[in-house]
Amino acid sequence: MDRRAFIGSFALGTLAVSHTAFTQPARKVQRIGILSGSGKTSDLVGPEPRGAPSIEAFLRRLRELGYVYGEHFVTEARGGENSPERFPGLAAELVRLPVDVIVASGPTLFALKKATSTIPCVMAAAQDPVDEGLVRSLGRPGGNFTGLSLQTVETFGKRLELLKELVPSSAPVGVLWDQTTFNLRSWAVAEAAARQRGWKLLSFELRSANEIEGAFKAASKRGREHSWYSRGDCSSAAPGAWQILPPKAGFRPCMRFGTMSRPAG
């Protein structure tokens, strides 16, 4: 099953309300909070959000399960527009409404963890929820958080091996990453995995989407390295960065994972 479709099933399953309960005369319309690190709130609200493929897939899956927007549930969406300083306020706003469950992913999860310990929260995607303190364990998360782990830390070595299989070379691997979704521990794990295999990593850290193009240019000056992209919300904020990939930047084949936006056309 597609991950985005699965989240649609999982979020409603987290609600302590069965489909049978929805058919009772005094039906309660469930309020589902959606906390997105990117996008504008005005584009995310209502049954037909704009420019948000994950949320669109989420609502589509709810329809497939027989739930009708406005009859069985409504959404309360908030978009952080790729500004981490806004996440705590948006999380607190959802908690105050209140809502019955909140779906969130990436760096917004930390703000949500601080905002509530009682409202059920579904992690649409978390890098390493155990190490990051979001859940106690993957098998028994405890508390009010549950959802999906991307297991990115555990699979760094495998991704590096795949890249080297695709492009055998002794050249270093350039890693483009941002602190919001790829923390220092993750970088340490990646370096350790590379050292064990006799490879060198070059770090190109981003603090905002505006630094993406500069990072590519800086990498090109250090040679024709392979590039391996970590998932980062700041990358999806600047889809134009794709326009300076291999032919303009002079890179060999690139690897990426997670969600990144391509420019239209």
pLDDT digits (tens, 9 = 90+) for 33-64: 999 998 899 999 999 999 889 899 999 999 99
- Confidence grade of residue 168 (pLDDT, cut at 50, 70, 90): confident
Residue 261 covered by a domain: no
**Based on the domain organization, do 139 and 61 belong to the same domain?**
yes
Residue 265 covered by a domain: no
pLDDT at 12 over 70: no
Give the pairing of strands 121-126 and 173-178. unpaired
Q: Residues of the chain with pLDDT > 90: what percent?
A: 33
Mean pLDDT of the chain: 75
Structural domain containing residue 179: 156-256
Cα separation, 220 vs 250, in Å, equals 7
Q: Which of 36-40, 47-51, 184-188, 220-224 has the lowest mean pLDDT?
A: 220-224
Q: What is the pLDDT of residue 96?
A: 96
Residue 263 covered by a domain: no
Cα separation, 144 vs 153, in Å, equals 23
Domain boundary among 90, 123, 149: 149
What amino acid is encoded at 116 in this protein? T
Q: What is the mean pLDDT of residues 89-118?
A: 94
Q: What is the mean pLDDT of residues 197-225?
A: 72
Summarize pLDDT for 98-108 with one digit per residue, the tens. 899 999 988 89
**Based on the domain organization, do 28 and 13 belong to the same domain?**
yes
**Based on the domain organization, do 12 and 137 belong to the same domain?**
yes
Which residues pair with residue 228 across a beta bridge? Answer: 175, 255
CA within 13 Å, CB half, 45:
6
Residue 131 covered by a domain: yes
Here the tokens at position 103 are: 């779906």
Residue 262 covered by a domain: no
| pTM for the predicted model, two decimal places | 0.64
Residue 39 covered by a domain: yes
Look at the chain and report how many structural domains it folds into.
2
**Based on the domain organization, do 162 and 144 belong to the same domain?**
no
Q: What is the mean pLDDT of residues 55-74?
A: 95
**Based on the domain organization, do 33 and 127 belong to the same domain?**
yes
Residue 264 covered by a domain: no
**Based on the domain organization, do 203 and 223 belong to the same domain?**
yes
Cα 68 to Cα 10, 47, 55, 59, 75: the distances in Å are 16, 9, 15, 9, 11
Q: What is the pLDDT of residue 180?
A: 56
